[in-house]
Amino acid sequence: MSKAHRVAVAVLAASALLVPGAQPAQAGASRQATTGPAATDRSGYHVLTLRRAAPRDLRIGTAAAGGGHHVDQPYPDPFTYDQPYRRVLAHEFNSVSPENQMKWEFIHPERHTYNFGPADAIVKFARRHGQVVRGHTLLWHSQNPAWLQDGQFTKDELRAILKEHIVTVVGHYRGKIQQWDVANEILNENGEYRQENIFIRELGPGIVADAFRWAHQADPKAQLFLNDYGVEWPGAKVDAYEALAKQLLADRVPLRGFASQAHLSTRYGAPDQLAAVLQRFDALGLHTAITELDVRMDLPESGVPTAEQLQTQATYYKTVLDACLAVAGCNSFTIWGFTDKYSWVPVFFPSEGAATVMWDDFGRKPAYYALRNTLAAAHWGR
Ligand code: 9MR
Backbone angles phi, psi at 37, to 5 degrees: -65, 145
Distance 14 CA to ligand 1 centre (A): 38
Nearest residue to 63 via CA among 78, 83, 81: 78
Residue 272: count of CB within 10 angstroms of its CB: 15
Distance 69 CA to ligand 1 centre (A): 8
Give per-residue pLDDT as tens, 268-279.
Answer: 999 999 999 999
292 is known as an active-site residue: yes
Specify the residue with its C-alpha closest to ligand 1, atom 12: 99
The residue from 92, 185, 232, 242 that is catalytic is: 185
pLDDT value at position 191? 98
Q: Is the pLDDT of residue 28 over 60?
A: no
Q: Is the pLDDT of residue 327 over 70?
A: yes
Ligand 1, pocket residues at CB < 6 Å: 68-69, 99-100, 142-143, 261, 292, 344
Q: Is residue 134 part of a domain?
A: yes
Rounded mean pLDDT, 154-160? 98
Q: Is residue 212 part of a domain?
A: yes
Rounded mean pLDDT, 306-335? 98
Distance 123 CA to ligand 1 centre (A): 19
3-state helix/strand/coil string of the chain: CCHHHHHHHHHHHHHCCCECCCCCCCCCHHHHCCCCCCCECCCCCECCCHHHHCCCCCEEEEEECCCHHHHHCCCCCHHHHCHHHHHHHHHHCCEEEECCCCCHHHHCCECCECCCHHHHHHHHHHHHCCCEEEEEEEECCCCCCHHHHCCCCCHHHHHHHHHHHHHHHHHHCCCCCCEEEEEECCECCCCCECCCCHHHHHHCCCHHHHHHHHHHHHCCCCEEEEEECCCCCCCHHHHHHHHHHHHHHHCCCCCCEEEECCEEECCCCCCCCHHHHHHHHHCCCCEEEEEEEEEEEECCCCCCCCHHHHHHHHHHHHHHHHHHHHCCCEEEEEECCCEHHHCCHHHHCCCEECCCCECCCCCECHHHHHHHHHHHHCCCCC
| Length reported for the chain | 382
Q: Is residue 20 part of a domain?
A: no
Query: Residue 343 is part of a domain; what is its CATH number?
Result: 3.20.20.80
Range of weakest confidence among 20-34, 35-49, 236-250, 287-301: 20-34
Cα-based distances in Å from 183 to 227, 364, 377: 6, 33, 34
Q: Is the pLDDT of residue 295 over 60?
A: yes
Specify the residue with its C-alpha closest to ligand 1, atom 19: 292
185 is known as an active-site residue: yes
- Supply the pTM of this predicted model: 0.91
Distance 292 CA to ligand 1 centre (A): 9
Rounded mean pLDDT, 174-186? 99
Residue 218's domain spans which residues?
3-10+34-381
Counting ligand 1 atoms within 8 A of each CB, the residue from 72, 100, 138, 229 with the most, and so the one to mutate, is: 100
> CA angle, 320 as apex, 287 and 80 as ends, to 5°?
80
Q: Is residue 28 part of a domain?
A: no
Give per-residue pLDDT as tens, 83-96.
Answer: 999 999 999 999 99
Q: Is residue 26 part of a domain?
A: no
What is the Cα–Cα distance from 330 to 95, expressed in whole angstroms? 14
Nearest residue to 122 via CA among 98, 89, 91: 98
Q: Is residue 60 part of a domain?
A: yes
Residue 303: count of CB within 10 angstroms of its CB: 9
Q: Is residue 96 part of a domain?
A: yes
Domain count, the chain: 1
Q: Is residue 27 part of a domain?
A: no
**Nearest atom (ligand 1) to Cα of 69:** 6
Instruction: With cut-offs at 50, 70 and 90, classify the pLDDT of residue 368.
Output: very high
pLDDT value at position 40? 59
pLDDT value at position 46? 66
What is the Cα–Cα distance from 370 to 315, expressed in whole angstroms? 7
Give per-residue pLDDT as tens, 330-361.
Answer: 999 999 999 999 999 999 999 999 999 999 99
Distance 159 CA to ligand 1 centre (A): 25
Nearest residue to 273 via CA among 230, 241, 313: 230
Asked whether 325 and 58 are in contact (CB, 8 A), the reply is yes
Backbone angles phi, psi at 91, to 5 degrees: -85, -30
